[in-house]
Structure 1
């Protein structure tokens, strides 16, 4: 019987396996110490950046991944949600994995992108230790860890009309190279950076750089907006 099919009554007798991704060593140590103080939780690995996490998580097969939303020096600027991309990649490879996003910033854009990437929960680092332990246990059972206020914000965003890009999409599309148009089509299909890299026989870092260029040329800040533009282009082509 695999981990994914173990009933709750049996899983309770085995440790809950957790992986931690955070670029600050002090934070990783604090979360590790907090979780390992619980008899039913085992921290099976940790990483300081996206590359480490994507390499190690599939190898150790955790039940829950606690992921920092912002990683690296760019995180301080508020414009980088690399942890969300890690969530998207891991969920594509391991649909049974529960991802709990951990962040210092109450950021609606990051929250929305994390939920769209398949995160099961989103909590601020300001919460107390017992609440974090509860959040880990909650997402491990397959439940969502969003408080009512956070859930209402997500629903409001889902119901709201899609924002139009600041740059008209025709102009933005004209700026894309043939390779970038190809990558945009695959973003529209919902593929992750790693899946795009595999499909096009490119390095994952190359795809990541190309995606950043595509977002810039289209005048949008989020991957989901680029996917919407791709969908519109496909719809017009089908109608013509």
Structure 2
């Protein structure tokens, strides 16, 4: 029997928690989410500590979290929840269009990074997609990052770079896990993160990029 988790589809609505220290903003987002079909706001919080406590109580499937909180950052909350074993899928919803914050959010495990200027319908669509297991980025952010970074691996961690190399060698997730002496789930998490950072959607695209890089290296090798 396959184990289930809180992010898998269920008969009821997708449960959402909103963490933002500005009550008016928080209530506005909550109203948008609650009006959306198939979504239900089950908790709100205004700080990292409060968010951690309430997430443990209600165990939401998706968390919308602001970056700037009075006792830390949304990234701090994402990391604390992950360390506590939470299965909630985090979405960073912020006013700040910052590439460094985007990279940190992805490293921490955020499934999406949205600006507060997006329309309500977009928030709803992203929540549904993230609850289904997808990783999404604001399209404008992705486009700008591609333009600013000629090397799509510029923001990858050393572990993620190693996974890219091994994908390029044609190894399966299980084989990569054995090579790196980590769990296969860890490899899958690395792949989810590196796909988002590289602006790609599928593992096969990573393999194609890695193969293309090798060809470029060989063509420029003077020996």
TM-score by length of structure 1 reads 0.57
Q: Answer whether contact 1:101 1:122 (CA < 8 A) is retained.
A: yes
Structure 1 residue 32 corresponds to structure 2 residue 26: no
Partner of 2:203: none
Runs of 4+ in 1 over 3 A off after TM superposition: 5-8, 147-152, 154-158
1:67, 1:89 → 2: CA distance? 13
For structure 1, the 5+ residue unaligned runs are 75-80, 163-240
Q: Following the alignment from structure 1 to structure 2, what is the Cα–Cα distance between the partners of residues 2 and 36?
A: 29
Residue 42 (structure 1) shift: 1.0
CA shift at 1:94, angstroms? 3.1
The aligned residue for residue 47 of structure 2 is 49
User: Distance between the aligned counterparts of 2:19 and 2:142, measured in 1?
Assistant: 24
**1:99 to 2:90 alignment:** yes
Aligned to 1:60: 58
Note if 1:129 corresponds to 2:120.
yes
Question: 1:69, 1:103 → 2: CA distance?
Answer: 6
Pair 1:119 & 2:110 matched: yes
Shift of 1:40: 1.3
Q: 1:6 to 1:101 in 2, by over 3 A?
A: closer
Specify the alignment match of 1:159 in structure 2.
153
Aligned residues: 152
Matched residues in 1 for 2:85 and 2:30: separation? 22
Name the SS of the counterpart of 1:137 in structure 2: helix
Give, in angstroms, the shift of residue 112 of structure 1. 0.6
What TM-score do you get using the length of structure 2 for normalisation?
0.61
Q: Deviations over 1:203-222 (max 9, x none)?
A: xxxxxxxxxxxxxxxxxxxx
Gaps of 5+ in 2: 157-223
RMSD: 2.8
How far has the Cα of 1:96 moved from its partner? 2.3
Q: Which whole-Å deviations, capped at 9, do the CAs of 1:54-77 have from their partners, x for residues lacking one?
A: 1110110100000001113x9xxx
Q: What does 1:68-217 correspond to in 2, within 5 Å? A: 68-72=66-70, 82-147=73-138, 150-151=141-142, 153=145, 156=149, 159-160=153-154
- Which residue does 2:16 correspond to in 1? 18
- Measured in 2, the distance between the counterparts of 1:158 and 1:117 equals 19
